[in-house]
Amino acid sequence: MLKPIALAALAAGLSMPICASAYAEPGTHNGRWSVELVTESGLCNARYSYALAIREGQLQLVSGSAGARVSGHVGADGVVGLSVSNGTASGTGTGRLQAGTGAGTWKVSSLCSGRWTARRSDTRTARAE
């Protein structure tokens, strides 16, 4: 049961307000990203890996548990805000992407929390479907 709950930590585990920089180019972070979550406290498994696609600032889950819902944005300046839910569990994460890598923190209610890292896994523009 904790495995689907940890998906809420996703991918990610990445909701914080997004303030897009007027100087950053839109779509800078488009593409596919590999995200790894490490649990630092709580009842979730120690480590999770997921794939996300970003297109024009919108996040989409590419791989993860069935039934998960992901909503999130990446600002042109790389600031990430993400909410994930799976059944009754939900989680949020915050962080930043830059130059093909990223990092931040995540939390699933009071169950578990930790840090996430990301790296661009392909440089082509991701397609949201």
Indicate whether 89 pLDDT > 60.
Answer: yes
Lowest mean pLDDT among 14-28, 30-44, 109-123: 14-28
* Average pLDDT of the chain, as a whole number: 77
- For domain 2-122, which CATH number applies: 2.40.128.120, 3.30.390.50, 3.30.390.30, 1.10.3720.10? 2.40.128.120
How many other CB atoms sit within 10 Å of the CB of residue 16? 17
Q: Quickly state the pLDDT bin for 63 (edges 50, 70, 90).
A: confident
Q: Quickly state the pLDDT bin for 97 (edges 50, 70, 90).
A: very high
Q: Which residue bears the tokens 């498994």?
A: 45
User: Residue 49's pLDDT is what?
Assistant: 81
